[in-house]
Chain A
Amino acid sequence: MKIRGVFSMSIINRLKSLFKEEKDIIEKGTEEKISKSVDDTSSDFNDPIVSGTKITVSREASFSRDSESGTIELKFKKDVHTIEEESVEDNLPAIEEDKSSNDEEIPEVEEAPAEESLDVEENTSSEEEDIDTDDEVESAEKADDEEKDQKDKKRDNMTLLTDKELLTDANRDPEFTAEFIDAGIETVKHCFQCGTCGGGCPSGRRTPYKVRQIVRKCLLGLKEEVITDDALWMCTTCYTCQERCPRSVKIVEIIKKARNVAAHAGYMAKPHKMTGVFVMNTGHGVPINDAAKALRTQIGLSEVPATTHAFPEALEEVQKLCKITAFDELIGYDEATGGLKE
């Protein structure tokens, strides 16, 4: 916490000086000033303490866009998070002080925290646009602008929704959402979509599994979207997301519940059904085999373990329970063949 205090003090000072600088730029509007400011922030870029102001971010944004280095762009993104995590709260009181000491700066200062508290990512993107208009004087940047226009077109084509992709209330099934609440997973409602879950998800970095999106869809009642998506089954239930969730959402429970609904709607992989078949036939998901029997005997253990393998009446109990809960019907168990129907 001490370190955080030091950081915030430097950030406050920095904020003050930078706001003044910004004001000067706007008033004079000279090329010289702008390029100086850009140079300043370019060097600031390497200064870890300075990363926490709105203006610095916007300058860095333009700087990183001009650069071709992917690593710099990464740093930029990281810095944006730093602001969100470290400086937003601490800056607010300091800005209040600023307000009382310098009336002229009020409009600008008020604007800054309001935007920041809304959405940092949006904030930085709008800043990028601001900079573009400010920097129009720089003829050297025209080439970059053209390049950017092309990028924008490409990006727009990628992200614009078509009518086909639009989800409406007709896609929502309130009963689907109710299933989570009824199962005691009320925390599905607590999710504020921060993305911490996806950030730590080992499946998310190698498969189309987007845990944050699934949680959202479950809350919205987008049943078909959730249960027909194969990615739902890419979670290894490692709990990394749930451990890190700042809202204590029972994420793994949500995923398992969504899978239950999917399974009952007929979305089950054959290998999964087969594990169920093994349990119904032997009481074990991984039953014993001859090699294991030989190994057990060699090292002085009983040939088969004292489980359902050794107690047929115990196996009958397991089978009976699976029938009571209709698990046999759920997986399509064929009692006659001891396999799957069809």
Chain B
Amino acid sequence: MEIAYFLGCIMPNRYPGIEKATRILFDALDIELKDMEGASCCPAPGVFGSFDEETWATIAARNLTLAEDMGADIMTECNGCFGSLFEANHMLKDNEEKRAKINANLAEIGKEFKGTTNVKHLAQILRDDVGYEKLASLIEKPLDLNVAVHYGCHFLKPTDEIGIEDQAENPAILDDLVEITGAKSIDYKDKMMCCGAGGGVRSRDLDVTASYTKEKLDHMSEAGVDAIVNVCPFCHMQFDQGQLEVNERYGTDFAIPVFHLAQLYGLAMGLSAEELTLTAQKIDAAPALAKALGENAK
């Protein structure tokens, strides 16, 4: 099996440990991740999507054509990239008028959107193409960890377009994937709430975004979790970097380490905190790691 691996921006350019973990995981799964050479920003739905739909769809379509030329489906492990690429692919496959307009733009760089690729999310591939049993066989160090799962918004929603089978307001896919690693998914208040970073709000009004994040952190803390697990580098950054911004604004002392799902699997497969670039993250993961791997370290 071959997959066109869409990196996006924040993962390769801020949290490369997520990329590393993903490459090792897919090696073990015997799935080839092929680089989409020359891919760009998805582009960011909050800015491009909110400013000019045509530009947003044109840049997204260019990325889609790279995978079409490779004859492969796309995998992304960022909800923002997934939202943008899936939505653009869906729109251009569906709407001939818009496709003609976008293809006229792409013709200027010698490309054409044909509608021959599908956009998939990492978690979707792990559940639907790989399967839980195979994933479980890769776990070398079961993690003793209580985890707050954060789904993020552009993963299962809008449900009438996104075809991932689950219930957007009461989902199970990420909790299941987390628990395969031995970690326990702890329920917490308003679990499906947004991290606050999306839609261009983080760059425009950090106070509003921090207010969202504080509410989430309050609820996660009340539930007594050791770590936050997400499937979106933007949410990841918001909980990591944003946690400091919350502490600064509200005088709180939140210190909940943040793992992308790929990093969680990396840990359970025995990768080090350095390889996963957890040691470079803002929130110290050491206490959670000591607990998670405690029994195995003995």
Contact = CB atoms under 8 A, between A and B. Distances in A.
Interface of A: 183-184, 202-203, 206-207, 233-240, 242-244, 248, 252, 256-257, 259-260, 263-264, 268-269, 271-272, 274-276, 279, 283-289, 291-292, 295-296, 298-301, 305-311, 313-315, 317-318, 320-322, 324-325, 327, 330-331
A324 B108 contact: yes
Contacts of A259: 50-51
A236 B198 contact: yes
Given A299-B17, A310-B37, A325 B50 contact: no
B153 A264 contact: no
Given A306-B35, A321-B109, A236 B197 contact: yes
7 contacts: A234-B201, A272-B200, A275-B44, A321-B58, A321-B62, A322-B59, A325-B55
Contacts of B203: 269, 271-272, 274-275
Given A203-B201, A327-B48, 14 more contacts: A233-B50, A236-B198, A236-B209, A238-B199, A269-B204, A272-B47, A275-B203, A279-B40, A285-B44, A286-B14, A295-B277, A321-B55, A322-B55, A331-B51
B275 interface: yes
Interface stretch (B5-13, B117-125, B140-148, B282-290): B5-13
Q: Which 8 A-B pairs have the closest CB atoms?
A: A314-B38, A238-B194, A305-B12, A239-B157, A283-B40, A311-B38, A237-B199, A259-B50
A276 B19 contact: no
B10 A286 contact: yes
A186 B243 CA distance: 40
Nearest to B169: A243
Contacts of B40: 279, 283-284, 307-308, 314-315, 318
B196 interface: yes
A279 B42 CA distance: 10
Contacts of A320: 108-109
Given A234-B205, A237-B198, A322-B55, A286 B9 contact: yes
User: Which of the listed residues B9, B35, B194 has the most CB atoms from chain A within 10 Å of its own CB?
Assistant: B9
Given A286-B10, A322-B55, A331-B51, A299 B37 contact: no
Contacts of A274: 203
A325 B52 contact: yes
Given A238-B194, A313-B38, A314-B37, A330 B17 contact: no
Nearest to A296: B16
Contact of A252 (B17, B158, B169, B200): B158
A95 to B, nearest CB: 34
B242 interface: no
A325 B108 CA distance: 11
Nearest to A331: B51
A193 B19 CA distance: 45
B50 A283 contact: no
Chain B, interface residues (CB within 8 Å), range: 35 or more
B20 A299 contact: yes
Interface of B: 7, 9-10, 12-14, 16-17, 19-20, 23, 35-41, 43-55, 58-59, 62, 95, 105-106, 108-109, 111, 153-154, 157-160, 168-169, 192-194, 196-201, 203-205, 208-209, 211-212, 215, 274-275, 277, 280
A12 to B, nearest CB: 32
B20 A272 contact: no
Given A286-B13, A322-B55, A325-B52, A308 B39 contact: yes
A185 B130 CA distance: 37
A172 B198 CA distance: 31
Contacts of A184: 95
B176 to A, nearest CB: 21
A243 B52 contact: no
Contacts of B14: 286, 292
Contacts of B49: 237, 256
Contacts of A311: 37-38
B208 A206 contact: yes
Given A243-B157, A307-B12, A320-B108, A236 B201 contact: yes
A308 B39 CA distance: 6
A324 B105 contact: yes
A254 B46 CA distance: 14
Contact of A276 (B47, B109, B209, B280): B47
Nearest to B211: A206
A240 B191 CA distance: 12
A188 to B, nearest CB: 16
A239 B158 contact: yes
A15 to B, nearest CB: 34
B154 A283 contact: no
Contacts of A317: 38, 62, 109, 111
A233 B200 CA distance: 7
A327 B51 contact: yes
Contacts of A330: 51-52, 55
B289 to A, nearest CB: 17
B105 A325 contact: yes
